[in-house]
């Protein structure tokens, strides 16, 4: 299953455009950008994205990238645990 990462275009203008391009190059990640993700309070204070619908935020784009990959790993672990019972 591919990971979906959603960007707010307004937040990208603050400095996450390179991050968008980095993630878009990853064949295991689907990246989308929207005009607004309706998290304006967070958007005005931090860098953020939605990873499979969950908010991930940080104070710098580099920290955000690190936290995105942590969230992806956590999601994969949760998915594996869910299907572990079916084996």
pLDDT interval class at 23 (50, 70, 90):
very high
Range 3-84 classified under CATH 3.90.320: no
Tell whether pTM > 0.75: yes
pLDDT of residue 2: 86
**Every domain of the chain and the residues it spans:** 3-84
Helix, coil or strand: residue 3: strand
Burial of residue 57 (CB within 10 Å: 0-12, 13-18, 19+) is middle
Helix (H) and strand (E) counts for the chain? Answer: 4, 4
pLDDT of residue 85: 72
Residues 6 or more apart whose CB falls under 8 angstroms from that of 20 comprise 7, 12, 31, 33
Query: Looking at the chain, how many residues does it have?
Result: 87
Q: 87 or 76: whose pLDDT is higher?
A: 76
């Amino acid at each position: 299953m591919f990971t979906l990462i959603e960007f707010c275009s307004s937040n990208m203008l603050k400095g996450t455009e390179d991050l968008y391009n980095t993630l878009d190059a990853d064949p295991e990640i689907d990246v989308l950008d929207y005009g607004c993700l309706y998290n304006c309070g967070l958007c005005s204070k931090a860098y953020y994205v939605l990873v499979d619908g969950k908010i991930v935020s940080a104070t710098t784009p580099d920290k955000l990238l690190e936290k995105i990959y942590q969230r992806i790993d956590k999601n994969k672990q949760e998915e594996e645990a869910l299907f572990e019972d079916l084996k």
